[in-house]
């Protein structure tokens, strides 16, 4: 097994709000002031601001926050269009872009928008080809490319990004195919619950055992580069409380898992600030997770954890 040196902790916030303008800008600046490292926007038609517009505004409103579409749906954005957006955001932010990209999974928004929802195998194959093309386009060089899904003939896109050879690539997923692709191509690999063929998420896939399987897939596919990959996880469940057990039992009542599964799940952070700090340290030792993302509503409550662990 390749040796692995743990990355320092860093913390991000996923934003799903959509204004009004001034409160939104104040929140973005507050996230930076509290010591969070990044802010991201999901690429869904049904959640929050459009991410490119949000990143452009945040690039001007902040000085240090790293910015990400977490993650851009490859089926919604042709690689040529995404490459131009990525280069522009990286320049406007002075090199603070993290380029997240995925195969798409939320079938309802495909159906509602009239975009074809192809089988997972097709979406993942198209994603892999898009990643190869994006890396070429973001090099700043004139690009010619011919694949199964995309064809480019002598295109050179301005502006070239500040970060070379390209902004850090973020790929997340919960299936062997996507995580193996991420392990081969990404700088940051996000571990998520798997998407089911009907476009829903498998809530039972949040367990510690499922997470260990996913890390094993990444390790196997990454080979010698595993130690260079930063491991990320989004924690949609964060509850600061002195009654961990009671909170877990309440949450488990609506899930196909036990309270013990909830307490042990890497996507849930439950307990006092001291308990959550200890939990995150244990999980970095166990899984390698160092890049932790929480949702916008818990920014203030979670800030003491960020203060204790960021950069350590």
- pLDDT tens-place string over residues 40-61: 999 999 888 999 999 999 999 9
**Which residues make beta-bridge pairs with 235?**
294
**Which residues make beta-bridge pairs with 294?**
13, 235
Are 102 and 171 in contact, with CB atoms under 8 Å apart? yes
Confidence at 2, pLDDT banded by 50, 70, 90: very low
Task: Quote the distance between the C-alpha of residue 104 and its chain's center.
Answer: 13
Compute the Cα dihedral for 157, 163, 164, 170 and give only its sign. negative
pLDDT of 4: 58
| pLDDT mean over 64-72 | 96
Number of Cβ within a 10 Å radius of residue 135:
17
- Cβ contacts of 207 within 8 Å, gap of 6 or more: 257, 261, 264, 265
Query: pLDDT at residue 5 above 80?
Result: no
Give CA–CA dist 186/137, Å, rounded.
Answer: 16
Confidence at 199, pLDDT banded by 50, 70, 90: confident
Query: pLDDT at residue 3 above 60?
Result: no
Backbone angles phi, psi at 67, to 5 degrees: -125, 140
Query: pLDDT at residue 150 above 90?
Result: yes
| pLDDT mean over 148-154 | 98
pLDDT of 169: 98
Give CA–CA dist 61/76, Å, rounded.
Answer: 27
Give CA–CA dist 103/230, Å, rounded.
Answer: 20
For residue 229, which of 237, 219, 238 has the smallest C-alpha distance? 219
């Amino acid at each position: 097994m390749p040796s692995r040196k743990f990355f320092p902790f860093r913390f991000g916030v996923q934003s799903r709000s959509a204004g009004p303008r001034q409160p939104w800008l104040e929140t973005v600046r507050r996230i930076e002031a509290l010591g969070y490292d990044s802010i991201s926007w999901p690429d869904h038609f049904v959640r929050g601001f459009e991410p490119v517009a949000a990143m452009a505004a945040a690039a001007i409103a902040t000085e240090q926050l790293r910015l990400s579409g977490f993650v851009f749906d490859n089926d919604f954005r042709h690689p040529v269009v995404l490459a131009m957006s990525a280069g522009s955001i990286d320049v406007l932010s002075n090199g603070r872009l993290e380029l997240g990209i995925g195969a798409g999974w939320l079938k309802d928004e495909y159906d509602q928008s009239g975009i074809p929802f192809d089988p997972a195998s097709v979406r993942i194959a198209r994603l892999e080809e898009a990643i190869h093309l994006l890396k070429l386009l973001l090099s700043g060089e004139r690009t010619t490319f011919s694949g199964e899904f995309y064809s480019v003939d002598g295109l050179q896109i301005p502006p070239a990004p500040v970060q070379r050879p390209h902004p850090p690539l973020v790929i997340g997923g919960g299936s062997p195919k996507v995580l193996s692709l991420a392990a081969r191509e990404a700088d940051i690999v996000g571990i998520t619950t798997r998407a089911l063929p009907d476009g829903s998420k498998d809530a039972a896939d949040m367990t510690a055992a499922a997470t260990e399987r996913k890390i094993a897939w990444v390790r196997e596919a990454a080979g010698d580069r595993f130690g260079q990959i930063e491991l990320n996880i989004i924690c949609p469940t964060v509850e600061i409380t002195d009654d961990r057990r009671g909170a877990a039992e309440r949450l488990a009542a609506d899930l196909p898992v036990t309270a013990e599964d909830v307490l042990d799940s890497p996507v849930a952070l439950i307990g006092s600030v001291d308990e959550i700090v200890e939990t995150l340290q244990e999980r970095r030792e166990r899984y390698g997770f160092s890049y932790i993302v929480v949702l916008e509503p818990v920014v203030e409550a979670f800030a003491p954890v960020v203060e204790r662990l960021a950069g350590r």
